[in-house]
Every structure is written in C-alpha cells, then in structure tokens.
Amino acid sequence: MLPLRLFLGVTFVYAGLDKLWFDPTFLDSSAPTSLAAQLAGFAHTSPLAPLIVVLGEPLAVPLGILIAIAEIAIGLGALTGLLARLCAWGGVALAALLWLTASWAVHPYYLGPDLPYLAGWLTLALVGDGGIGSLASVIRRWGIAQGWLDGPGRAMLPRAWAVEAEAADLERRRFLEGALLTALTVALGGGAALLGWRSRRAGAVAGVTRPAGATARATATVGPAQGTGPAVGDLATVTRLGSQPFQDPATGDPSVLVHLSDGRVLAFDAVCTHAGCTVEFDSSQDVFLCPCHGAAFDARAQGAVLRGPAALPLTELAISINAATGVIRLSS
C-alpha cells in the first residue's frame, strides 16, 4: 500500500497547494481559468448541473478554498497515516465529485483522470495504511507512555470492561490523530494561502505588460464600425494583459478575448470541445491549453486542434472594435 499512499498523498497535497498558492487564477472569478469559469463549463455536461448552478457558481471562491484545504488534509492523512481510512473516504468523495463534474463528459470513460483516483482511494479506505510509516502507531505508543491509553494492561480487565476500555482508547486515539492532522493542515494550508495572497496582490499591483510595440500592432486590427452586439471588453485591457475573459451572453459560456503576437485581437468560446473544461490562454505561444486532459488549440488558426483528446476546434466569436473608443463588441 505504500506506493499508493505516497502517490495519492503527494498528489492531493500538491493539488491543494496549487489552488491556494501556485495558481493565481483559481480563486479569481474574473479569470477564464478560475473555478467559477470551470463550473460554468461543467454546468453544460454534468449530471449535477442544477446543484452547480444553484450552489457551485455563486459560492465558487469559498468552495475552491474548501476543496483546497480538504485536498491538503486528505493528502496528509494518506502520507502520515493519521485518520487514514477517514481521509481515504474523503478522497473517495472528492474523486467521485470530480468524476461527476470535470470528467463526466469524457468518452470513452477510461480517458477520464478521476476514476483511477476514486479506485485508489477506495482501496486505501478498505485496507488502511498497513501500519507502515504511520504516525498513528507513534501516537499510540506515546499515549500509552503518557497514561492516556491503557495499552497491554487492558488484557487484565474483565471482558466487558476491556471492550469498554478499548472503545475509549479508540476515541482518544482518534482525537489525538485528528488534532495533529488539523494542526498540520492549518499550518501548511494557511501558509500556502498567505503566500498565494501575497503573490496575487503583488501581481495586481505590478500588472502584466506586453512587449514594446504591442499597442501599435493591435490597433492595426481595429475597424471603423461600432458594431451592434453587446460590449465584451476594451482594446487597451486586452493589449495590456494579453487576454480578457467575458461571458458570452448568447450561450452563457466562459469566453475570452486574446491579443496574439501578430497584433490581431480575437475572441473564442473558452469551453474545451472535449469535456467542457475551461481552457487557458498561453500568450507566449498563442495557444489555448486545457487543464483537465491536456488538449491544445491554436489561436492563430481559428482555434484548430493542436493536440488531443479534443477532436473539434474551439469556437471563434466574431467581434468588432471601435477605432475611436477601443470598445470591443460581439458582432450580431
């Protein structure tokens, strides 16, 4: 069981840290790769769509924080053996939730990444940590030494008393394991959240700049027509940031305006054509990347597929840019 514990534990701890610290967009509801944008995409394919719309999308930020903390706690439980089976059942629940949302539309099913995690966590939940490299055994020995647990002396008690003492020991061990696991989770998760907050704040203050001459190249794409569709962005923002997310009022899909390296400003539906995840725009390559299954799309070629498992290109949206104001509108 040790290799499975190490893989699942390290992966879930990293996933939680990534959400709180490394990924500056996960908790940013305005970003096209945020949890809010991903939930909007899942709502089109998931059997949990009504729940996503009613609870998931309005509470995307606190839900994202809760998922990240849960992943850290579950991962630490697998690595340390603290409340190992309880944490494993938590892993089962979380993997099942991801399967019903992020991976539900993946066909054939064996291409989905969440079912193997579900099977792995289920195995740990049924078998336990095997007692190898487990802090639970350390806590048990410490509790006996401190007089918290009865240990071998229980064998001298009458059977009825021994059963009662064993139950009391189990509750005390669970309390000690839970306290230590909570402390580790708060320390690691809280530190990651603080570092992530500082990183996002520093990024917001500094801003993201484009190479010199980007504004001049972008203005070459501006047309004279104001257009009749709804406004979805402005040229200055897209040029400065490289992309600007918006929601397509016609479909409700997360969408994004992008400024390409050749100066063009284009708009795309940001829902991956494979499984409905929200794609991310890499401005250094003018490529959209799917964070769920690795599909890649070429923004310079009408969203053409560069790498599967997606088979269809992204949907490009027609836009018009006002030459005087820089307002970008969808073309009706």
Query: pLDDT at position 217, please?
Result: 36
Domain ranges of the chain: 2-202, 214-330
Rounded to whole angstroms, the Cα distance separating 124 from 51 reads 29
Q: Are 323 and 261 in contact (CB under 8 A)?
A: no
Estimate the crossing angle of helix 159-206 against helix 135-146, to 10 degrees. 120
**Before 108, cis peptide (omega within 30)?**
yes
Q: Are 274 and 295 in contact (CB under 8 A)?
A: yes
Q: Which residue has the tokens 């897209």?
A: 238
Provide the 3-class DSSP secondary structure of residue 265.
strand
Rounded to whole angstroms, the Cα distance separating 177 from 138 reads 10
Q: Write the DSSP string, 96-161.
A: HHHHHHTSTT-SSGGG-SHHHHHHHHHHHHHH--TTTT-HHHHHHHHHHHHTSS-GGGGGGS-HHH
Q: Kindly report the pTM of this predicted structure.
A: 0.67
Q: Are 248 and 257 in contact (CB under 8 A)?
A: no
Token pair for 134? 């487990």
Question: Which ranges of the chain does DSSP label H, i.e. alpha helix?
Answer: 2-17, 35-42, 49-51, 60-80, 84-101, 114-127, 135-146, 159-206, 214-219, 235-241
| Count of C-beta atoms within a 10 Å radius of residue 183 | 10
From 139, 135, 169, 137, select the one nearest 151 (Cα to Cα).
169
Which residue type occupies 250? A
Per-residue pLDDT of the chain (332 residues; tens, 9 = 90+): 999 999 999 999 999 999 999 888 788 877 666 788 778 777 777 899 899 989 998 999 999 999 999 999 999 999 999 999 999 999 999 999 999 988 887 777 887 789 999 999 999 999 988 878 888 888 877 776 766 666 555 555 455 555 565 667 778 888 989 999 999 999 999 999 999 988 877 765 554 433 333 333 333 344 444 556 788 988 998 988 889 999 888 888 899 999 999 999 999 999 999 888 889 898 888 999 888 888 889 999 999 988 878 889 999 999 999 888 889 999 86
Q: Pairing mode, if any, of strands 243-247 and 254-259?
A: antiparallel
Provide the 3-class DSSP secondary structure of residue 269.
strand
Token pair for 55? 């609870």
Rounded to whole angstroms, the Cα distance separating 249 from 257 reads 14
- The alpha-carbon radius of gyration of the chain (Å, integer) is 25
CATH level 3 topology of 214-330? Rieske Iron-sulfur Protein (2.102.10)
